[in-house]
Chains A and B, each alone.
Chain A
Amino acid sequence: MRSLVGASIVLALLAMIGAPAGAADLEAGRRKSEPCAACHGRDGNSTIPGTPSLAGQPVYFTHWQLIKYRDGRRKDPQMSPAAQNLSDTDMADLAAYYEAQRPRQRPAKIDPAKVVAGAQLANLHHCTSCHRPGLVGQQQVPRLAGQDFEYLLKLLRSFKAKTASDLDGMMTMSAQPLQEQDVLSLVHFMASLGGE
């Protein structure tokens, strides 16, 4: 506890000594996230089927996605206009705020047989190489564990169809060998993962 307090004091001090533009501001991120709350939830845990939760997503992932919405590489009727007026600092603040929020597993009707099949597929397709064990994500790679079922399904189908925006081509390539039933099994598996 003591070291935590110490650390926060150091952090607070660092924040006061004119933080460089590159350092994100959690409180500013919270304020800037207010317009996002209607869909993504106040703490980044969405309750709308089809809308992803952002809580616990790695900073680099959220920031890169916002850049792609702003420059048109990723398109969405809600997100594309929302990202147009965000500055790089806004994006960094938002990404930092969402990463700091605790992710909650989204409710879904999980088929246990598909979860078993999906877990095997995740091994065969090396999902954890980039998404890490437990599919918790890292760096520019998103957290998938406990994400919204409809959203995961839409995204994975789009990667298979080569219509999803892909920072480095990795997901489009990885999705090509998947059949529709594999996609379903994988999504059941990803949505079934809860813990850290």
Chain B
Amino acid sequence: MRRIILASLTAALVIGLALAPLAPAQQAQQPPPTWKQGQPASMADSMLAPIPQPPAPAALGELQVDKIKVPPGFKVTVWAHGINNARAMTWGDKGTLFVSSRVAGNVYAIVDKGGQREVKVIATGLNLPNGVAFKDGTLYIAEISRITKMPGIESKLANPPAMEVVYDILPRDVPHGWKYLAFGPDGKLYFNIGAPCNICIPPDTHANISRVNSDGTGFEYFAHGVRNSVGFDWHPVTKELYFATHARDWMGDDVPNDRFDVAAKKGLHFGFPYCHQGDIPDPEFGKGHSCSEFAAPLLKTGPHVAGNGVEFYTGSMFPAEYKNRAFLTQRGSWNRTKKVGFRVMMVTLRSGDVPKYEVFAEGWLQGEQIWGRPVYTKQMKDGSLLIADDYAGAIYRVTYSR
């Protein structure tokens, strides 16, 4: 009897499938691609779209380094070029600069050989390997859903060791799934798990900054309500975590601002998706919440600027007032009719006062044309500052002399 019922059910299903109409009349409208998601009907005709990454780096002659404006006494030169999609940088113990990429899927090692930079690809075909961090002779690499390591890499650049898994049970979502990776003062690896959308109620596992021990144990969430932070650093004195966050798109040219925040302790909520820039409730998800429930931004850094790199200056080459200033690198806007960002800003923290926020380096944007996109900085041992440009595939060096 049971079997007969099953058989007829199956038959009914088969008939049902056969009779199913070809026209998808009953199908629902699907969500748009992530970059377009959250676009209101009033902007449906907008031609704004993310700026595509060129598949190859610019030639040396195409780098308009003379157009980069810096304060008096500073000078910008090309330090290395031909590094497809060069992004985050970290130093090895023996002076190798390790450089990440995103869509290029590569990790590079750059060695300074008598004033010439030698670029080697040490890993390729990776899944958006934006995060690189180095500790005790070992390079750590963060892709979308995993962190791996290469022990002893600096003495094996010509023949890199296999990547060993440190932690590989992270979400597989690609949107905002690429990671910034850095060691905190506590010796733990910190990284972002971004919201898998432009705007949505993210799963509990997303929209945060997380940390894990370098042996893959002790995973925990550190900061919540963070849409996507792909740049952070710890204050040289207070050791508190400061981070940049990209704000949502499609709310107009001038709101919401990207943010620069401090997470002085674990467990704070920074507002996403309910409240943007500390004072604008989300038009859809803000209902039933007040912005006062969440940690307010330390600084509104501008709408659509795409704040990536965060680095506190600890060197001695730059003038004394630069000590402990934060360099914020802004990769630049796409979701804005007039482009902004494409520059390196600097923040001076002042106790009892709002931070001072000013331009350090700009000029990758000329009118509405861009020739490069600065994305991260890294201080050199001598106190000069490297700036990576993922669009042009180059690294510039900023020096100072009085």
Residues of A within 8 A of B (CB): 20-23, 60, 63-64, 67-68, 71-73, 88, 91-92, 95, 113-114, 116-117, 120-121, 124-126, 129-130, 139-140, 166-170, 172-174, 177, 181-182, 185
Contacts known (A60-B55, A167-B103); A117 close to B29, Cβ less than 8 A: no
> Quick check: A130 and B33 within 8 Å, CB to CB?
yes
> Quick check: A22 and B58 within 8 Å, CB to CB?
yes
- Nearest B-chain residue to A95, judged by Cβ: B55
Interface SS of A by simple majority:
helix
> Quick check: B32 and A168 within 8 Å, CB to CB?
no
In the complex, whether B54 has a CB less than 8 A from a CB of chain A is yes
With a CB–CB cut-off of 8 A, which chain A residues contact B58? 20, 22
* CB < 8 Å A-B pair total: 96
Q: Smallest distance from the beta carbon of B386 to chain A beta carbons, Å? A: 22
Give the contacts of B284-343 with A (CB-CB under 8 A): none
In the complex, whether B104 has a CB less than 8 A from a CB of chain A is yes
- State which of B24, B61, B173 has its C-beta within 8 Å of the C-beta of A185: B24
Complex CA distance for A117 and B59, rounded to whole angstroms: 47
- Nearest A-chain residue to B61, judged by Cβ: A20
- State which of B22, B30, B53 has its C-beta within 8 Å of the C-beta of A117: B22
With a CB–CB cut-off of 8 A, which chain B residues contact A67? 55, 104
> Quick check: A120 and B175 within 8 Å, CB to CB?
no
With a CB–CB cut-off of 8 A, which chain B residues contact A167? 103
In the complex, whether B157 has a CB less than 8 A from a CB of chain A is no
> Quick check: A124 and B177 within 8 Å, CB to CB?
no
In the complex, whether B4 has a CB less than 8 A from a CB of chain A is no
29 pairs from A and B in contact (CB 8 Å cutoff): A20-B59, A20-B60, A20-B61, A22-B56, A60-B52, A63-B55, A64-B55, A64-B103, A71-B106, A73-B125, A88-B56, A91-B55, A114-B22, A116-B23, A117-B23, A120-B23, A124-B29, A125-B30, A129-B32, A130-B33, A139-B52, A169-B175, A170-B174, A173-B33, A173-B34, A173-B174, A174-B30, A174-B33, A185-B22
With a CB–CB cut-off of 8 A, which chain A residues contact B59? 20-23
> Quick check: B124 and A71 within 8 Å, CB to CB?
yes
Q: Smallest distance from the beta carbon of B175 to chain A beta carbons, Å? A: 7
Complex CA distance for A21 and B33, rounded to whole angstroms: 34
How many B residues are at the interface, by size bracket? 35 or more
- Nearest A-chain residue to B175, judged by Cβ: A169
Complex CA distance for A71 and B85, rounded to whole angstroms: 15
Q: Smallest distance from the beta carbon of B384 to chain A beta carbons, Å? A: 27
> Quick check: A170 and B56 within 8 Å, CB to CB?
no
Instruction: Contacts A71-B125, A169-B174 known; list 13 others, CB within 8 Å.
Output: A21-B59, A22-B57, A72-B124, A91-B56, A95-B55, A126-B30, A126-B36, A129-B36, A169-B173, A169-B177, A170-B33, A170-B34, A173-B174
> Quick check: B125 and A120 within 8 Å, CB to CB?
no
- Nearest B-chain residue to A140, judged by Cβ: B52
Interface SS of B by simple majority:
loop
Complex CA distance for A91 and B32, rounded to whole angstroms: 32
Complex CA distance for A172 and B196, rounded to whole angstroms: 14
Contacts known (A71-B124, A168-B174, A182-B24); A177 close to B55, Cβ less than 8 A: no
With a CB–CB cut-off of 8 A, which chain B residues contact A113? 22-23
Contacts known (A20-B59, A72-B124, A139-B52); A168 close to B29, Cβ less than 8 A: no
Give the contacts of B324-370 with A (CB-CB under 8 A): none
With a CB–CB cut-off of 8 A, which chain B residues contact A22? 56-59, 62
Q: Smallest distance from the beta carbon of B251 to chain A beta carbons, Å? A: 19
- Nearest A-chain residue to B121, judged by Cβ: A71
Complex CA distance for A20 and B32, rounded to whole angstroms: 39
Q: Smallest distance from the beta carbon of B272 to chain A beta carbons, Å? A: 20
With a CB–CB cut-off of 8 A, which chain A residues contact B177? 169
- Nearest B-chain residue to A123, judged by Cβ: B29
> Quick check: B27 and A124 within 8 Å, CB to CB?
yes
With a CB–CB cut-off of 8 A, which chain A residues contact B57? 22, 88
Which A-B residue pairs are the 4 nearest by beta carbons?
Answer: A169-B174, A63-B55, A20-B59, A21-B59
In the complex, whether B28 has a CB less than 8 A from a CB of chain A is yes
- Nearest B-chain residue to A59, judged by Cβ: B55
> Quick check: B56 and A72 within 8 Å, CB to CB?
no
In the complex, whether B105 has a CB less than 8 A from a CB of chain A is yes
Complex CA distance for A125 and B28, rounded to whole angstroms: 9
Residue among A23, A125, A166 with the most chain B CB within 10 A?
Answer: A125
Complex CA distance for A166 and B127, rounded to whole angstroms: 10
Q: Smallest distance from the beta carbon of A129 to chain B beta carbons, Å? A: 5
Q: Smallest distance from the beta carbon of A121 to chain B beta carbons, Å? A: 5
> Quick check: A177 and B30 within 8 Å, CB to CB?
yes
With a CB–CB cut-off of 8 A, which chain A residues contact B84? 88
With a CB–CB cut-off of 8 A, which chain B residues contact A121? 24, 27
With a CB–CB cut-off of 8 A, which chain B residues contact A116? 23
Give the contacts of B12-64 with A (CB-CB under 8 A): 20, 22-25, 27-30, 32-34, 36, 49, 52-62
